[in-house]
Chain A
């Protein structure tokens, strides 16, 4: 816990102008990691900036993103970069993407972007790409190979033929529980690109993948799902150390499938119920996941937040910075070979608000 507390207290103290009393993160970094193997980045996701009319936007969602940006800027040492995990906009419009981009422009340092379905289905990502660049790409950073996928594509017939207008297509995909929606997928073209991209990478190079939807199947009814998840996992299987980060689910999830560790991101906008809370659903939440606290609706920012991530020797240590709850920390445990919560993993350590029904 010392790392989490160190950094959180730093954020708080810095905000109060008392930064001299805080320990910089690097002083408590994990001992097994060589300094050159370690770095940090911030991970913000699902801000759902929502246009009302004219210059008006939904205040609640704006506040979530503004807070994440402000807190990220207080991190010491500086994260090497910030990843934005998708769904910057609610209805994919220019005013929403522009307003979101303007808020994100206050982040210090490089920002990378993942495409979300709320950014995409109005103009199929055209304006988003003008602002933020390619929809899938890879880069290398301090010995780690990073891959960003656009995992929210779907069947061509749904995208191109089913709806009379782009606006209606966006409305239909924006409703999480809308039975007229369509399952997410990475698709043949991008998987071919991924195979080619990975062909250049040594098997012992740590790999970190970002997608918007989970690259695993949890609950199809809310698209906590990627249709070709197994095929993407198969491409990642030959590598020693693989970590997948995803947004979309607005809740804490983590899992281990073979060599692949999965961790989700909180939303800055609002939390979602765990699928098991829907009495009519069949769902497959990973057993490993200790759920986040049930949200208190009277605290506007409860069950929202953002993440900062340490990469140590190619494995991820994820700290969930929660606005109205105790911080959570999910760390890859080399002994068990899976990510684990540092405080709540054991069944007898869990607390009542983590029970969802």
Chain B
């Protein structure tokens, strides 16, 4: 436990010296975070429209222009075909396996994060309705 404590002490002292407080952030921070998100959305759009995500050249966007008919606001929901309440990433993997004839992605794969970010971005402004069919 010695080493982590040393890191804690170091971090505290750095924080103290710089004057940073946990719940304060600047306009520059907001812009940086937004740019990070926008970059991942853009990456997601790239994957969405790419024929290389699966193995048969089919792209997500062929059936889902602007990620329409993905209904991210309704997940998690009971998916009768799976017989359980499922997350959206599980449905993305269903599509990767079937229409795209490819391999599924891990839930925390950066590519999955990018795909979900793009889907959510295109659905912005729609109210959450988990469970809806």
A-side residues, CB < 8 A to B, are 48, 50-52, 56, 58-60, 175-178, 221-222, 270-273, 275, 277-281, 294-298, 300, 357
Contacts and interface: CB of A to CB of B under 8 A. Distances in A.
Residue among B63, B123, B126 with max Cβ neighbours from chain A (10 Å)? B63
A58 B56 CA distance: 6
Interface in B78-133: 81, 91, 94-95, 98-99, 101, 122-126
Nearest to B69: A273
A279 B122 CA distance: 7
Closest 4 CB pairs of A and B: A177-B65, A273-B69, A273-B68, A298-B81
A278 B72 CA distance: 12
Contacts of B91: 297
B15 interface: no
Contacts of A278: 65-66, 68, 122
Given A278-B66, A296-B81, A58 B61 contact: no
A72 to B, nearest CB: 24
Contact of A50 (B49, B58, B122): B58
Interface residues of B, number: 25
B66 A177 contact: yes
B62 interface: yes
B61 A175 contact: yes
A277 to B, nearest CB: 4
A176 B95 contact: no
B65 A273 contact: yes
The main secondary structure of chain B at its interface with chain A is loop
Contacts of B126: 279
B39 interface: no
Nearest to B59: A175
Given A58-B57, A300-B99, 13 more contacts: A50-B58, A52-B57, A56-B56, A59-B56, A177-B61, A177-B65, A222-B65, A273-B65, A277-B68, A279-B123, A280-B122, A280-B125, A297-B94
A15 to B, nearest CB: 26
B64 interface: yes
Nearest to B63: A270
Contact of B61 (A176, A221, A281): A176
Given A52-B56, A60-B99, A277 B69 contact: yes
Nearest to B82: A298
A221 B67 CA distance: 13
Contacts of B81: 296, 298
A50 B62 CA distance: 11
A51 B56 CA distance: 9
Given A297-B95, A298-B81, A271 B68 contact: no
B66 A270 contact: no
Contact of A58 (B58, B63, B64, B95): B58
Nearest to A57: B56
15 contacts: A48-B62, A50-B58, A51-B57, A59-B56, A60-B99, A175-B65, A178-B49, A273-B69, A277-B69, A279-B124, A280-B66, A280-B125, A295-B69, A297-B94, A297-B95
Contacts of B49: 175, 178
A200 B64 CA distance: 44
Contacts of A273: 64-65, 68-69
A294 B69 contact: yes
Contacts of B123: 279
A222 B81 CA distance: 30
A283 to B, nearest CB: 11
A67 to B, nearest CB: 17
A48 B124 CA distance: 31
Given A50-B58, A58-B57, A279-B123, A271 B63 contact: yes
Nearest to B95: A297
A280 B68 CA distance: 10
A52 B59 CA distance: 12
A357 to B, nearest CB: 8
Given A175-B49, A279-B124, A296-B81, A272 B65 contact: yes
Contacts of A294: 69
Contacts of A295: 69
Interface string B40-66: 000000000100000011100111111
B130 to A, nearest CB: 15
Residue among B56, B68, B123 with max Cβ neighbours from chain A (10 Å)? B68
A357 B69 CA distance: 8
